[in-house]
Amino acid sequence: MKTAKNLISASLILGSLILPQLSNAQKIAQKATNITILGTSPMHDWDMKGTTGTFSGVVSGNAITNVTFTVPVKTLKAEKGKTMEKKAYDALKADKAPNVTFTATSISMGKSNATGKLTIAGASRNATFPVSVVKKGNSYIIDATETIKLSDFGMERPGFMGIKTGDVVTVKVNVVAE
């Protein structure tokens, strides 16, 4: 009888601690996504842009937890045209690894660093980069910019007639989630 009372008391205490946190948690998903990749080559600078991505997370207190961001590689488009896109898709190994993904346990509100797993061209690496998360009404605006070395992900630099792009690209991401 005493054990049952203790078990009920412990359950009530745990429930009172966990339930408020669960009721404050809010699942969010992207409403708008903008991705820009900026690169260089000896001939000219280049960029690719996309507006397709899938973001999800759970807002809990001053953080977004269970973060997943996925970008289908072939939705990124080059201003320099189809030849540039094909070379980029080949470098990104789009046929074998059709998505770029980032997952993180938690991203803090305000300006902070996001730490998680970044997968590009089928290669995964731990990554930490600066991020800004701002709440505006019912929306969360997430901005991140980071430089990435293609070689860190086993990618060969795209090229044309022996002229190769630079190994470093800058990736800018803006997500509006609700």
Q: What is the CATH number of the domain that holds 172?
A: 2.40.128.110
- The reply to whether 86 falls in a domain is yes
Mean pLDDT in order along the chain per 10 residues (178 residues): 49 45 76 95 88 96 96 93 87 96 97 97 96 96 96 86 87 96
Domain that holds residue 167: 25-177
Check if the beta carbon of residue 87 is closer than 8 Å to that of residue 73.
Answer: no
Helix (H, G, I), strand (E, B) or coil at 22: helix
- Looking at residue 1, what is its pLDDT? 52
The pLDDT value recorded for residue 159 is 74
pLDDT at 15: 46
Q: Is residue 3 part of a domain?
A: no
pLDDT of 24 reads 65
Q: What is the pTM of this model?
A: 0.82
User: Residue 165 falls within a domain, yes or no?
Assistant: yes
- Flag whether 19 is in a domain: no
151: in domain: yes
What is d(CA 151, CA 128) in angstroms, rounded to the nearest whole number? Answer: 17
Decide if 98 is inside a domain.
yes
